[in-house]
Amino acid sequence: MKNWLTLFLSSVLLCYSGGAVSATDNRIVSLGTGGLTGLYYPAGGAFCRLVNQTRRDHGIRCAVKTSPGSVANINRVMEGSLDLGIAESGQLYEAAISESAGTELRSLFNLFPEFITVFSRRDSGIVSLADLPNKRINIGLENSSQEVTFKLLMKARGWQLTDFSEVHRLSPAEQAKALCSNVIDATFYVVGHPSGAVKEALRDCDSQLIGLAQSDINSLMLGNYFYQPMNIDGGLYDQSGTDVLTAGVNATLISRADMPDEVAYALVKSLFGQFEQFRRMHPAFSRLTPDLLIKAPLAAPLHPGAERYFKEIGLLD
């Protein structure tokens, strides 16, 4: 009796709505983010919150999933265990130019800039990247974007891992404590600012931000044009702080190419239709503009559903 009644009520609802079921109805999309101390996790949470607030309009529910970060998100979106992921555009470009990923991955939009960030103990004697050899360093988890990016800089400088006295592979959540506990001398991080991990280290122990040399920036840009010169605003952590020269990339929201166009359209509209609210959800979003998120170069092709929305609102021709 219950099954029959359920089917009857469902058919009534279908008739009332015109008999068609949208590809977005009652759909759950999973979004791979990152660790709790980085910016991927709050960015993913903000995006899902905006999607879920407008669920009555499109029938989609968004669920945040923690992950090791950019590289893992790319792989999991490709294999289909995630619907969406946040990925660094430098690593996304490397994946997208491969034969398989180039046909499978699509960009929905850029999210925010990510900065190559090195911070060290002041008593370590490390005041530039050139001072890292013979020191105890953290380069991030194996296969993380931290490790991948650091190895690009190592290659440009002709360094080997054996040039350092100790090489640690700590998660973002562990690195500030390790620095303040004198387990490491410096840590390498790719992150949006302001960052909880950076703030913790600068607050809890005598540490400092270290910039890149112009030659480091040039080497990165030569190998991957998604790297660009950037400045970390010194005032984010200390009102008297000076800007730090570095390089960076954009964090990008990605999907598979086979995501239905109307799903991609609804997801993008959920954020851009509530953009001012999004900007208030984290200090790192406060300076963002719709133009910045759309018109910066995308490392994977724009999804057709996203493109349709951006053309409708005049962000794309």
Last residue of a domain, one of 249, 275, 292: 249
In 14-99 the beta strands, taken as DSSP E runs, fall at 27-32, 60-65, 84-88
Q: Indicate if 40 and 159 belong to the same structural domain.
A: no
- Alpha-carbon separation of residue 131 from 185, 210, 233 (angstroms): 11, 10, 23
Q: Indicate if 118 and 238 belong to the same structural domain.
A: yes
- Its pTM stands at 0.83
Q: Indicate if 258 and 166 belong to the same structural domain.
A: no
State pLDDT tens for residues 190-227. Answer: 988 888 888 888 888 889 999 999 999 999 998 787 89
Q: What is the Cα–Cα distance from 151 to 71, expressed in whole angstroms? A: 14
Measured N-to-C along each axis, helices 145-157 and 89-96 cross at an angle, to the nearest 10 degrees, of 80
Q: What is the Cα–Cα distance from 37 to 279, expressed in whole angstroms? A: 19
Last residue of a domain, one of 233, 249, 265: 249
Q: What is the Cα–Cα distance from 254 to 252, expressed in whole angstroms? A: 6
- Report the chain's mean pLDDT, rounded to a whole number: 87
Last residue of a domain, one of 215, 232, 249: 249
Across 40-44, 89-93, 94-98, least confident range: 94-98
Whether 191 is covered by a domain: the verdict is yes
Q: What six digits make up the tokens of 186?
A: 């410096």
Whether 4 is covered by a domain: the verdict is no
Q: How many domains does the chain have?
A: 2
- Domain with 172, as residue range(s), is 114-249
Percent of the chain scoring above 90 in pLDDT: 62
CA angle (237, 239, 244) in 5-degree steps: 60
Query: End-to-end CA distance of the chain, in Å?
Result: 55
> With 0-12 CB in 10 A as exposed, 13-18 as middle and 19+ as buried, what is 177?
middle
State pLDDT tens for residues 16-33. Answer: 333 333 556 679 999 999
Quick one: CA torsion of 140, 90, 190, 185, rounded to 10 degrees? 50
Residue in 255, 261, 244, 128 with CA at minimum distance from that of residue 195: 244
Q: What is the Cα–Cα distance from 177 to 216, expressed in whole angstroms? A: 28
Place of tokens 């103990």: 121
Mean pLDDT of 135-145: 91
Q: Indicate if 260 and 243 belong to the same structural domain.
A: no
Q: Indicate if 220 and 290 belong to the same structural domain.
A: no
Q: Indicate if 118 and 245 belong to the same structural domain.
A: yes
Q: Indicate if 154 and 277 belong to the same structural domain.
A: no
Of the spans 87-101, 165-179, 192-206, 219-233, which averages the highest pLDDT? 165-179
CATH of the domain at 166: 3.40.190.10
